[in-house]
């Protein structure tokens, strides 16, 4: 009995569903705030996908089916609005219809106004800022003036944190947008390196202060410990001397007795009392 073989279909990998998890090719984001850019990005990914899996040479109807399949179910309603036959329409014609739908004729005046007033946000990095400027400029029909205008707009609208870049670009007067971008990125990298070195030096200074404070604290504790241990030892002070004999002599007591016994009617000095004592109290 012949062994039954399992069937494995051969074909390109299945696309990921539009759940934000990534995959081979996500569906078209029809809720994007910038539909022209979203459609342009998706179409580019689709063309790359066809080439990567050798599908760009497939038949016309299969490539149309692949386009509609990868666009996702939300785009089917848009396709129905074209009122075309899926079996007869050509791929390029279908792409043009979706392009017209997602990228209606733009108001160049509004786009140029948007570009001239596009300022770098406070926490926006240079790459994001530059990319957005370029994408807006593509729709402004500047022709040969585009690079020169973008160079000026780029430097004019840098945020306050990048004033040093703006000043350097004005001094250097680069001839192209790419030259201005190189100057900006070199200065940004230099600033970051300086901040790193400054941070390292500050950490070293703090460590030195902490070590010095630690040693001082240990010295104070050692001194206090020595003092507390010394208090428990017997005192080495000499015993107080006995009262001098002159303080306890009989003459001294007699002199005091006479002072207490006799109270003169007028104030008398110590010298007068002494003379009376010497004469025997008479």
What is the chain's alpha carbon radius of gyration, rounded to the nearest angstrom? 50
pLDDT in tens, 221-239: 776 776 666 665 555 555 5
How far apart are alpha carbons 209 and 66 in whole angstroms?
Answer: 69
Cα distances (Å, whole numbers) of residue 38 to 25, 99, 247, 277: 13, 11, 115, 127
pLDDT grade for 142, boundaries at 50, 70 and 90: very high
Q: What tens digit of pLDDT does each residue of 76-129 get?
A: 999 999 999 999 999 999 999 999 999 877 788 988 999 999 999 999 999 999
The CATH number of domain 108-190 is 1.10.1200.30: yes
Using an 8 Å Cβ cutoff, are 154 and 177 in contact?
A: yes
Domain positions in the chain are 35-102, 108-190
Q: Are 134 and 111 contacting, i.e. CB atoms less than 8 angstroms apart?
A: no
Mean pLDDT of 249-271: 59
The pTM (predicted TM-score) of the whole model is 0.47
Q: Which helix (H) or strand (E) holds 110?
A: helix 108-116
CB atoms within 10 A of CB 183: 17
In angstroms, rounded to a whole number, what is the distance separating the alpha carbons of residues 228 and 220?
12
Give the range with max mean pLDDT: 3-7, 16-20, 243-247.
243-247
Strands (E), the chain: none
Residue 195 pLDDT > 70, yes or no? yes
pLDDT confidence tier of residue 220, bands split at 50, 70 and 90: low
> Which residue's structure tokens are 């500050």?
202
Query: Of 48-57, 71-80, 198-207, where does mean pLDDT reach its minimum?
Result: 198-207
């Amino acid at each position: 009995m012949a062994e039954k073989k399992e069937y494995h279909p051969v074909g390109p990998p299945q696309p990921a569903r539009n759940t934000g998890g990534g995959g081979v090719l996500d569906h078209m984001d029809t809720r994007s705030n910038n539909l022209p850019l979203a459609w342009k990005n998706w179409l580019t990914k689709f063309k790359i996908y066809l080439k990567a899996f050798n599908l760009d040479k497939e038949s016309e109807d299969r490539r149309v089916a692949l386009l509609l399949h990868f666009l996702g179910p939300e785009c089917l309603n848009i396709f129905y609005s074209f009122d075309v036959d899926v079996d007869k329409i050509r791929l390029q014609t279908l792409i043009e219809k979706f392009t017209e739908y997602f990228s209606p004729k733009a108001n160049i005046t509004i786009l140029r106004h948007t570009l001239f007033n596009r300022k770098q946000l406070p926490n926006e990095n240079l790459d994001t800022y530059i990319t957005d400027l370029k994408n807006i400029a593509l729709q402004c029909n500047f022709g040969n003036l585009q690079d020169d205008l973008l160079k000026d707009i780029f430097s004019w609208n840098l945020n306050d944190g990048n004033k040093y870049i703006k000043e350097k670009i004005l001094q250097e007067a680069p001839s192209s947008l790419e030259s201005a971008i190189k100057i900006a990125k070199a200065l940004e990298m230099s600033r970051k390196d300086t901040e790193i070195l400054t941070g390292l030096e500050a950490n070293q200074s703090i460590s030195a202060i902490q070590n010095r404070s630690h040693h001082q604290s240990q010295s104070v504790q050692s001194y206090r410990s020595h003092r507390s241990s010394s208090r428990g030892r017997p005192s080495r002070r000499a015993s107080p001397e006995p009262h001098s004999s002159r303080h306890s002599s009989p003459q001294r007591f007699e002199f005091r007795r006479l002072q207490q016994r006799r109270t003169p009617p007028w104030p008398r000095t110590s010298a007068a009392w002494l003379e009376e004592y010497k004469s025997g109290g008479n």
